[in-house]
C-alpha cells in the first residue's frame, strides 16, 4: 500500500463535483482530462459542451508552462501557454480546492521562475557493493531499477510523476551521477529501459535525463580516447545522441559528473571543463537537449597535513575562469555551498562569478547530511534562504534552473520518514517560485496530505526543524563532524585526518578554518564585494558562518554575546531539548492512520536519541579540548 502523499482522493474532491471543459493537445492535456474524470468530475474534451461548465481549461495562451487563473461570474478559468501550463494550472486549482470555485478572483498570472525544475536520482542500476541500490538513499530501493534490471512494474513511476507534476517539476535524471558499468550502457544498448521510463514521465510533462560517463566513447564505443577535441569522439557522441533522440524525441539531456571523486573527465586529455561540457552540448543542441555539467570538482585525495589546499576554493578555481566559454545548452550545475550539502554553508561563490554562463543551483532533498530521513528536518527554509540571498536571487530570477537529489525510493511512504514528503513537495514549489514562503508551502502540503487541522502541529514540529538540526550538529558553520562513510551521527574527528578536505582544526585553544586572505587560504577573495569584506573580518562575519571562515579562540565573543564554546554548549543543549519538544508535540496529534502516527513517533524517538548523542559528543569533545566549564553547570560527560 503506497502512500497517496499530497494527492489523496480527498485533495481532488472540489474537482470531482464540477463540470469541466478542456481544450488542448498532447499528453499533459490528456492527463488533466483523465484526472478530472478519475476525480468524478464531468469533462468535455475538445468538443463543444452541451451544458454550461464550472471550470474551463484552455491551452495556447501566453508563455510556455505558464497559465492565467481567474474566476469570474461563477466560472473558473485556466488559460495556459501549453500542455504543461494546463497541467500546472489544474494542480493549482487542486491546491485551492473549494476556494477555486467560490468568490471571483484574478486574473492571476502564473509562470515558473526557473525554466528547468529538476530532480536527480542517484539510483544505481546494479546494486553497488557499498552504496547499494540508491546512493545516499534512505527510502528503500529504487522505483526504477531492481538489482541490475528495469523494474517490471513501473506504476510507481507514474504515481511519482503525478506527484511531481503537482509541484511543478519538469525534469528527472533517472540514474546516479556516479556512472558505473551497468549504468553506462543505458546510453546505448539499454536505451529501451530509458524509453520505457520516459513513457511514464511524458504524460506529466516531465522530460527524462540521463547521467552519462565522460569515458563512454572508450568504454562503450571502443575508441582509444575520449578526448573532447578528437573528431572521432565528437562523431561518436553525435551518433549516440542521435540514436537517443530517434528513440525518445523529447529526451531531456545529460547530467555529467566529470573529474570528480574518481569519475573520468576532460583533465585526462589536458582539456578543461568547458571543452568537456561543450562536446556534449554540441551533440545535444540539434535535438533541443541540454547538458548539466556539475561543478563539484575538487581533490578528494588531499593530505590533511597540507594547510594550503582548501576544498572550498576548488569549484571556483576550476570553473570561474571558464565563464563565457560554455554553450547556451550547457548548464553548469553548482552545489549551493562550496563544500557538500552541509546544514549550513555560505552560498557558493561560483554562483556569483559566472554571469555569462547558464547555471543551475543544486540541493539535496535526500537528507544525506541532515538526518537521513530519520530526523524530521524541513529544508525549505534553508533552500529559500539560499535562493533569496543577495546576488543569488538575481541569478535565480533569470537562471536556467534548480536541481535537487531526490529523496524517493520504493518505501511505502515514498521518502522513508513520512514527514520528509514535505521536502519533496517544497522543493518543487520553490523551484517554481523561490519567492514562496516556506511556511505557506507547508500549509499547502499539510492540507493536501492530511486535510485540514494539522497545520498547527506540523508548523510546531517542522518550521524550525532545520535550525534545530543545525543547533545540535556541527557548530557555527564548521560542517561535517559526521561518521565517515555513511554520514549518520556524530564523529567530531571522523574526517579530521582524512583525504577529503573537510576539517575543523580544533585544538586546545580554538576551532575553525581560516579562509581569509590575510592569514588563511584566501577563499574569501572568491566573493564579490561586499561579501569578501564581510566574510574576511571576524567583526562582520555572521555568527552562523564564523567557523567556516575563521579559526578563533574558544573565548571569542560572538555577535550574540556568547563565547564560542558557551555557544556550542548552549546550542547543543537547546537543540536536543527542541528535538524532545518535537516528539512531545507529535504525541498530541491524532491521525486516522495509527500506523503512520506510530511510524513518525518511532522516528522521533530516534531523532531524540540521536540529538542527545550529538549534544553529548560535541559538548564532551569541546569541554575536553577547551577545559572551559559550562556557565550553567549542565551535565557534560
Tell me whether residue 274 or residue 564 sits nearer to a copy of itself (CB atom). 564
Residue with cell 593530505: 303
Q: How far is the CB of 486 from a copy of itself (least distance, A)?
A: 11
Tell me whether residue 323 or residue 616 sits nearer to a copy of itself (CB atom). 616
Tell me whether residue 239 or residue 307 sits nearer to a copy of itself (CB atom). 307
CA distance 56 to 90: 10
A 10 A CB-CB count for 196 gives 16
Tell me whether residue 143 or residue 506 sits nearer to a copy of itself (CB atom). 506
Please tell me which residue in 368, 411, 444, 570 is annotated as part of the active site: 368
Residues that bind a copy of itself in the complex, under the rule CB under 8 A? 304-305, 307, 490-494, 497, 506-509, 616-617, 620-621, 623-627, 637
Q: How far is the CB of 506 from a copy of itself (least distance, A)?
A: 7
Distances (CA, A) of 333 to 169, 179, 370, 557, 630: 17, 17, 21, 37, 43
First to last CA, the chain: 45
- Among 391, 399, 400, 383, which residue's Cα sits nearest to residue 435? 383
CA distance 95 to 110: 14
Tell me whether residue 385 or residue 616 sits nearer to a copy of itself (CB atom). 616
Q: How far is the CB of 549 from a copy of itself (least distance, A)?
A: 20
A 10 A CB-CB count for 47 gives 9
On whether the CB atoms of residues 211 and 173 are closer than 8 A, the answer is yes
Per the annotation, the verdict on 613 as an active-site residue is no
On whether the CB atoms of residues 622 and 510 are closer than 8 A, the answer is no
Per the annotation, the verdict on 368 as an active-site residue is yes
Q: How far is the CB of 131 from a copy of itself (least distance, A)?
A: 14
Taking only Cα atoms into account, the Rg of the chain, rounded to an integer number of angstroms, comes to: 25
CA distance 78 to 461: 35
Tell me whether residue 18 or residue 504 sits nearer to a copy of itself (CB atom). 504
CA distance 575 to 582: 11
Distances (CA, A) of 98 to 16, 253, 439, 454: 11, 39, 21, 18
Instruction: Render 470-502 in DSSP notation, one character per residue.
Output: HHHSSSTT----BPTTT--SB-TTTTTTSTT--
Please tell me which residue in 65, 340, 362, 447 is annotated as part of the active site: 340
Please tell me which residue in 261, 456, 509, 533 is annotated as part of the active site: 261
Q: How far is the CB of 627 from a copy of itself (least distance, A)?
A: 5
Q: How far is the CB of 565 from a copy of itself (least distance, A)?
A: 12
Q: What residues are labeled active site?
A: 261, 340, 368
Amino acid at each position: 500500500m503506497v502512500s497517496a502523499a499530497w494527492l489523496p482522493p480527498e485533495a481532488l474532491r472540489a474537482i470531482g463535483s464540477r463540470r469541466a471543459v478542456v481544450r488542448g493537445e498532447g499528453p499533459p492535456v490528456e492527463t488533466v482530462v483523465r484526472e478530472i474524470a478519475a476525480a468524478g468530475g464531468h469533462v468535455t474534451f475538445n468538443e463543444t459542451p452541451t451544458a454550461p461548465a464550472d471550470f474551463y481549461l484552455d491551452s495556447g495562451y501566453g508563455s510556455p508552462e505558464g497559465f492565467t487563473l481567474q474566476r469570474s461570474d461563477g466560472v473558473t478559468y485556466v488559460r495556459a501557454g501549453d500542455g504543461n501550463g494546463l497541467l500546472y494550472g489544474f494542480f493549482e486549482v487542486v491546491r485551492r480546492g473549494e476556494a477555486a470555485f467560490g468568490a471571483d478572483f484574478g486574473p492571476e498570472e502564473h509562470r515558473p521562475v526557473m525554466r528547468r525544475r529538476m530532480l536527480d536520482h542517484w539510483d544505481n542500476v546494479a546494486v553497488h557493493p557499498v552504496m547499494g541500490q540508491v546512493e545516499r538513499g534512505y527510502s528503500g530501493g529504487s522505483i526504477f531499477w531492481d538489482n541490475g534490471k528495469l523494474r517490471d512494474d513501473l506504476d510507481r513511476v507514474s504515481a511519482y510523476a503525478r506527484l511531481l507534476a503537482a509541484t511543478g517539476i519538469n525534469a528527472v535524471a533517472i540514474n546516479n551521477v556516479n556512472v558505473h558499468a551497468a549504468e553506462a550502457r543505458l546510453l546505448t544498448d539499454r536505451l529501451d529501459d530509458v524509453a520505457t521510463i520516459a513513457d511514464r514521465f511524458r504524460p506529466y510533462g516531465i522530460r527524462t535525463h540521463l547521467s552519462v560517463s565522460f569515458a563512454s566513447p572508450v568504454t562503450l564505443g571502443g575508441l582509444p580516447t575520449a578526448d573532447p577535441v578528437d573528431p572521432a569522439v565528437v562523431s561518436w557522441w553525435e551518433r549516440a545522441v542521435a540514436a537517443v533522440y530517434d528513440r525518445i524525441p523529447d529526451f531531456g539531456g545529460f547530467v555529467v559528473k566529470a573529474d570528480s571523486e574518481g569519475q573520468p573527465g576532460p583533465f585526462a586529455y589536458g582539456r578543461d571543463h568547458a571543452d568537456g561540457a561543450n562536446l556534449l552540448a554540441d551533440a545535444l543542441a540539434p535535438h533541443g537537449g541540454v547538458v548539466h555539467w556539475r561543478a563539484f570538482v575538487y581533490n578528494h585525495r588531499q593530505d590533511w597535513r597540507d594547510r594550503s589546499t582548501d576544498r572550498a576554493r576548488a569549484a571556483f578555481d576550476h570553473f570561474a575562469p571558464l565563464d563565457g566559454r560554455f554553450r547556451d545548452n550547457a548548464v553548469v550545475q553548482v552545489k549551493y555551498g562550496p563544500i557538500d550539502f552541509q546544514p549550513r554553508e555560505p552560498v557558493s561563490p561560483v554562483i556569483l562569478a559566472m554571469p555569462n554562463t547558464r547555471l543551475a543551483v543544486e540541493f539535496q532533498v535526500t537528507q544525506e547530511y541532515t538526518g537521513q530521513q530519520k530526523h524530521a528536518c524541513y529544508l525549505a527554509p534553508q533552500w529559500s534562504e539560499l535562493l533569496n540571498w543577495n546576488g543569488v536571487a538575481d541569478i535565480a530570477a533569470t537562471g536556467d534552473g534548480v536541481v535537487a537529489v531526490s529523496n524517493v525510493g520504493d518505501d511505502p511512504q515514498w521518502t522513508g520518514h513520512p514527514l520528509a514528503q514535505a521536502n519533496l513537495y517544497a522543493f518543487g514549489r520553490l523551484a517554481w517560485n523561490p519567492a514562496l514562503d516556506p511556511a505557506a508551502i507547508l500549509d499547502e502540503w499539510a492540507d493536501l496530505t492530511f486535510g485540514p487541522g494539522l497545520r498547527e502541529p506540523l508548523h510546531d514540529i517542522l518550521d524550525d526543524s532545520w535550525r534545530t538540526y543545525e543547533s545540535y550538529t556541527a557548530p557555527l558553520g564548521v560542517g561535517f563532524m559526521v561518521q565517515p562513510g555513511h554520514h549518520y551521527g556524530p564523529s567530531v574527528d571522523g574526517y579530521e585526518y582524512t583525504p577529503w578536505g573537510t576539517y575543523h582544526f580544533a585544538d586546545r585553544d580554538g576551532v575553525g578554518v581560516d579562509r581569509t586572505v590575510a592569514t588563511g587560504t584566501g577563499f574569501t577573495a572568491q566573493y564579490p564585494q561586499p561579501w569578501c569584506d564581510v566574510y574576511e573580518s571576524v567583526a562582520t562575519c555572521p555568527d552562523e558562518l564564523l567557523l567556516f571562515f575563521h579559526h578563533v579562540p574558544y573565548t571569542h565573543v560572538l555577535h550574540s554575546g556568547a563565547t564560542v564554546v558557551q555557544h556550542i554548549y548552549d546550542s547543543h543543549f537547546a537543540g536536543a531539548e527542541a528535538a524532545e519538544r518535537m516528539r512531545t508535540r507529535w504525541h498530541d496529534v491524532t491521525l486516522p492512520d495509527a500506523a503512520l502516527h506510530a511510524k513518525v513517533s518511532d522516528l522521533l524517538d530516534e531523532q531524540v536519541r540521536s540529538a542527545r548523542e550529538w549534544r553529548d559528543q560535541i559538548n564532551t569533545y569541546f569541554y575536553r579540548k577547551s577545559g572551559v566549564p559550562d556557565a550553567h553547570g549542565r551535565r557534560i560527560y
